Amino acid sequence: MKNIAVIGGQWGDEGKGKIVDYIAKNIDVVVRSQGGANAGHTVIVNDKKYIFHLIPSGIIHENVKAIIGNGMVLDLPELMDEIRILNKNGIKTAGRLFISNRAHITLPFHKYVDQQSEKISGKKKIGTTGRGIGPTYMDKIARVGIRVADLYDKNVLKEKLEAGVGKANELYGRLYGAIPFSYYEIAGDLAAYADMIKPYTADTVFLINKFVKNGLSFLLEGAQATLLDVDFGTYPYVTSSNSSIGGLFTGSGFNPFLLDKTIGIFKAYCTRVGEGPFPTEQNGDTGEFLRQKGYEFGATTGRPRRCGFFDLVGAKYSCMINGFSDIALTKLDVLSGLESVSVCTGYEIEDKRIDEFPSQISILAKAKPIYKIFEGWNDNIRDIKQFDALPVQAKKYIKYIEDKLKTNISLIATGPERQNLIER
Ligand code: GDP
Ligand code: IMO
Ligand code: MG
């Protein structure tokens, strides 16, 4: 299998970083195509923990080329921090990291309005990461965004930045009483960052296709997840990009017909950070057990993640949209120690059984999960390397999910470290 995509099947934080790290060892090029520093992908190697926000997680492998695609939105200070951390740890970025000249730049007023609008929306807030993602994509869609290439065109940059700062000061001053943003300060910072990232910038659309022609293999690393997709997710409690399969192509210029395998990443249970409906959420002891045992705290914001049982209705929907050829089931070890483990097989909404994931959150919010209950297991499974060696109850649980999703669960993660993985 040459070209592989890895996509979150639930509400994010499924363990994409860990699976990307595992697959990337046999891959030439890893590409991120959407989202920005809202993502937090964790890779743990020899007790060293890396959290990637913008740079593709596969960069840890020294032969991998890493590409930040055209569909991403870039927080430049964050990007430089990540580059510095990698370099400090002996991971070279020169000649291996490429940044699309079409990617959009997140500016200080994007972050400001993201945080401020959340603050004043009270109960109606989305629970964003506050990284300016939505406002940066708003400017992109409104065709006023600043792209990486613009940083090197004085006149275009001046015109766009003056307009952007002017609008921000006018609007946010009135709405939120914002202290005026300084064009000169932002322009000065951008000029400094433009110099720093210059060696990495490229027309990655052509670069990717040149690499394809030269026979290199690809791993498309999804960020966020299908139920957070702006079109397919629990709108408006979603992110502002297409975080299911389509976004991987529009955000990179990689030819969709060259993809050989699409792996859906699912946690063995379910989590969500931020607001929005979550039918299988557990607010009592079970939720707390999963949060503590699974260390369910956001890799980007540190917020506690909401925890609950595996939801087959959402998972089936996710499989349908992405056409997963395989599934990686992660964090199975976290379930060890529960007396019983439940799987949601359908929803009851206003006395009717529903098997299709609702398009409206007002309906989803009324969903009562119908559960199938499995006997739990107690064993520590972290070092198990063979599927057959898993506790019989765990095997039953996995086979049931596999059967219902009609998709092979070919990878099972049993701990956060690189080596905690079962290949089937
Ligand atoms: P991503 O955004 O999908 O890459 O996932 P995150 O990195 O945000 O969150 C996943 C968390 O679970 C990280 O802390 C990982 O180190 C951890 N993790 C990944 N796989 C496993 C696993 O199989 N078991 C356990 N216990 N932790 C895991
Ligand atoms: P990874 O790639 C989990 C969530 C936020 C919020 C909503 C909108 O690590 O899986 P945004 O800042 O994007 O406008 O926030 O989306 N969210 C994530 N949740 N994992 C992520 O990324 C997320 N990126 C955004 O919590 O509910
Ligand atoms: Mg994450």
**Cβ contact 94:196 at 8 Å:** no
Residue 53 CA to residue 182 CA, distance in Å, equals 27
- What burial letters (b/e) apply to 45-72, b meaning 16+ CB within 10 Å? eeeeebbbbbbbbbbbbeebbbbbbbbb
Ligand 2: atom nearest CA of 276 is 27
Strands 41-45 and 48-52: antiparallel
Ligand 1: atom nearest CA of 223 is 2
pLDDT tens track for 113-169: 999 999 998 888 999 999 999 999 999 999 999 999 999 999 999 999 999 999 999
Q: Is the peptide bond before 236 cis (omega within 30 degrees of 0)?
A: yes
Ligand 2: atom nearest CA of 133 is 14
Tally of CB atoms within 10 A around 124:
9
| 172 Cβ contact list (under 8 Å, min separation 6) | 109, 112, 113, 116, 178
pLDDT tens track for 62-110: 999 999 999 999 999 999 999 999 999 999 999 999 999 999 999 999 9
Distance 424 CA to ligand 3 centre (A): 25
Cross-strand bridge partners of residue 177: none
3-state SS class at 179? coil
Residue whose CA lies nearest to ligand 1 atom number 18? 416
Among 224, 243, 278, residue to substitute to test ligand 2 (most atoms within 8 Å of Cβ): 224
Residues with CB under 6 A from ligand 1: 8, 12-18, 40-42, 44, 294-295, 299, 330-331, 333-334, 413-416, 420
Distance 416 CA to ligand 2 centre (A): 20
Q: What is the pTM of this model?
A: 0.98
* Tokens coding 362: 């007002």
Q: Active-site positions?
A: 13, 41
Structural domain boundaries in the chain? 3-102+200-262, 104-196, 266-423
| 250 Cβ contact list (under 8 Å, min separation 6) | 33, 71, 242
> Residue 219: its pLDDT value, please?
98
Angle between helices 392-405 and 312-322 (to 10 degrees): 50
State which residues have CB under 5 angstroms from ligand 3, the bound ion: 13, 40, 299
Strands 326-330 and 261-267: parallel
> Residue 300: its pLDDT value, please?
86
Ligand 2: atom nearest CA of 303 is 26
Q: Where are the beta strands (DSSP E) in 108-260?
A: 201-202, 218-221
The CATH H-level (homologous superfamily) assignment of domain 3-102+200-262 is Adenylosuccinate Synthetase, subunit A, domain 1 (3.40.440.10)
DSSP letters along 41-78, please? EEEEETTEEEEESSS-GGGGSTT-EEEE-TTBEE-HHH
**Cβ contact 319:401 at 8 Å:** no
Distance 72 CA to ligand 2 centre (A): 14
Q: In which residue ranges of the chain is pLDDT below 50?
A: none
Distance 112 CA to ligand 3 centre (A): 22
Ligand 1: atom nearest CA of 330 is 23
Ligand showing the shortest atom-to-Cα distance for residue 131: 2
Ligand showing the shortest atom-to-Cα distance for residue 127: 2
Residue whose CA lies nearest to ligand 1 atom number 17? 416
Distance 32 CA to ligand 3 centre (A): 14
Domain 104-196 matching CATH 1.10.300.10: the answer reads: yes
Distance 94 CA to ligand 1 centre (A): 28
Ligand showing the shortest atom-to-Cα distance for residue 48: 1
Q: Smallest Cα–Cα separation from 36: which of 108, 134, 148, 117?
A: 134
Residue 403 CA to residue 220 CA, distance in Å, equals 26
**Which position has the token pair 């400094």?**
192
Residue 248 CA to residue 255 CA, distance in Å, equals 10
> Residue 1: its pLDDT value, please?
67
Residue whose CA lies nearest to ligand 2 atom number 6? 128
Ligand showing the shortest atom-to-Cα distance for residue 49: 1
Residues with CB under 6 A from ligand 2: 8, 12-13, 38-41, 126-129, 131, 133-134, 223-225, 228, 239-240, 273-274, 299
Write out the H or E segment, with its range, that includes residue 171.
helix 154-176
CATH code for the part of the protein at 266-423: 3.90.170.10
Q: Is 177 exposed, middle or buried (0-12, 13-18, 19+ CB in 10 A)?
A: exposed
Distance 20 CA to ligand 3 centre (A): 12
- In the chain, how many H helices and how many E strands? 12, 20
Q: Where are the beta strands (DSSP E) in 181-300?
A: 201-202, 218-221, 261-267, 270-272
Sign of CA dihedral 407, 411, 412, 415: negative
